[in-house]
Each structure stands twice: as C-alpha cells, then as structure tokens.
A and B are shown apart, each in its own frame.
Chain A
Amino acid sequence: AIQLTQSPSSLSASVGDRVTITCRASQGISSALAWYQQKPGKAPKLLIYDASSLESGVPSRFSGSGSGTDFTLTISSLQPEDFATYYCQQFNSYPQITFGQGTRLEIK
C-alpha cells in the first residue's frame, strides 16, 4: 500500500507568514494527489487536486506543486481562517486511497 508522510506534523506560524507543508509518497504517484483543509468539528474541504490545480472557490494564496513522490502545499500569506489541519490524499493506487497523517497549523 502506498503510504503518505507529511511534514511537519505540526507548525506554528503568524498571520502573513508563508508556509509550506510537505507530503512524501512511499512510491511514485505521478500527480495523483489532493490536499484538504479541516477545521475542528468540520468535514475536510478540498483545496488542491491533481497536485497543483486549485479547486474552484479556494483563495489563490493556496498553491500545490510536485509530482512523483514529493509534493508541497504552500500558503503564500497566512490568514486567520487558515489555521487548521491539512491532509494530503493519493489516488494513484485507486481504488486503494490513502491519506497522510495530517499537519496541524497553529497560531504562533
């Protein structure tokens, strides 16, 4: 099974900071990766699909990059509403879908 490892597991940052979260796959997954944002008590929200495509309605400060085994989610200028947990998800091995363990983004 393909495993996804996110780093860091948690991160403290300030409003206005540029933040990068990494997701590494245990084997190559091409660009079959999505990123989600989850706030406490809420369902995940799709941000990025196909590694770098921005979901409709998602602010342009969010961007994704990478292919193969290494991927990044970047928030160019953190806003107060961005403090949440972020998950990557691969679908290259569909129908076996896996998620990363999550990265908690906290206010410094």
Chain B
Amino acid sequence: QVTLRESGPALVKPTQTLTLTCTFSGFSLSTSGMCVSWVRQPPGKALEWLALIDWDDDKYYSTSLKTRLTISKDTSKNQVVLTMTNMDPVDTATYYCARINGGGSYLFDYWGQGTLVTVSS
C-alpha cells in the first residue's frame, strides 16, 4: 500500500525559509523510474508543479521558482525534503507531495493529503 504524508510548519513569516518533509511507504525511491514530486495549490486556485527528484538523485525544478527551491531525499528514511527560501504571502498554499511511477508516463498516481502553509507576519 503506497502512502505519502507531508509534514512541516503551518505558519511561516515572510522572508523565512520553509522546510517540508514527505514521508512515504509502499515503494522505494531506489527503484528505477520512481520519482517524488511537490505540487502546491493556493486557496481556490490551480495546481502548480514545483520540483521532483528521481531514483537516480536527479533533481528538477519549476523554471519560475528554481532559484528558491531545493529538493533532496533520504532513501534510508523514505523521505523527500523540499526547502523554499524567501517565503512571501503569495506562497500561502496547500503543499502536496506525490509519486511519479515513471516508465515514460510522468503522472502522479499517489498523493499525500497535503499540508496548508500560511505565510504571514
């Protein structure tokens, strides 16, 4: 059974750095083709892809946010960590982690329940 769960602060102040952890089970990020990604959704708005890390430790970022994002993994702990620097109120959103089971179709087949992050002083 594949599960993913996001954890991190619910409230951050402007200019601070956000650190989110995705803890997953039911699959290994060492398996060829496997990826974990982060997607966010501001309240009432659309989904936005942020970053992904694959089984080979390759890392990819949204072009518009890449200067602020860092993604990493700890395969032994089944965790993926996303950091986002210089947080702003417009970054208020629900942040999801999701699995991509590659093999040519890069879609999100399992998602966490999401964690709401509010940016406010």
Contacts and interface: CB of A to CB of B under 8 A. Distances in A.
B93 interface: no
A105 B121 CA distance: 36
B47 A99 contact: yes
B105 A49 contact: yes
Contacts of A44: 47, 96, 108, 111
A65 interface: no
Interface residues of B, number: 21
B72 to A, nearest CB: 16
B105 A43 contact: no
A1 B65 CA distance: 13
Contacts of B49: 96-99
Nearest to A6: B46
A102 B37 CA distance: 20
Given A87-B47, A101-B46, 16 more contacts: A32-B106, A34-B107, A34-B108, A36-B108, A43-B96, A43-B114, A44-B47, A44-B108, A44-B111, A49-B105, A49-B107, A91-B106, A95-B60, A96-B63, A98-B49, A100-B46
30 contacts: A1-B63, A34-B105, A34-B107, A36-B108, A38-B47, A43-B98, A43-B114, A44-B47, A46-B108, A46-B109, A49-B107, A50-B105, A55-B109, A87-B46, A87-B47, A89-B47, A91-B105, A91-B106, A95-B52, A95-B60, A96-B49, A96-B63, A97-B37, A97-B52, A99-B46, A99-B47, A99-B48, A99-B49, A100-B46, A101-B46
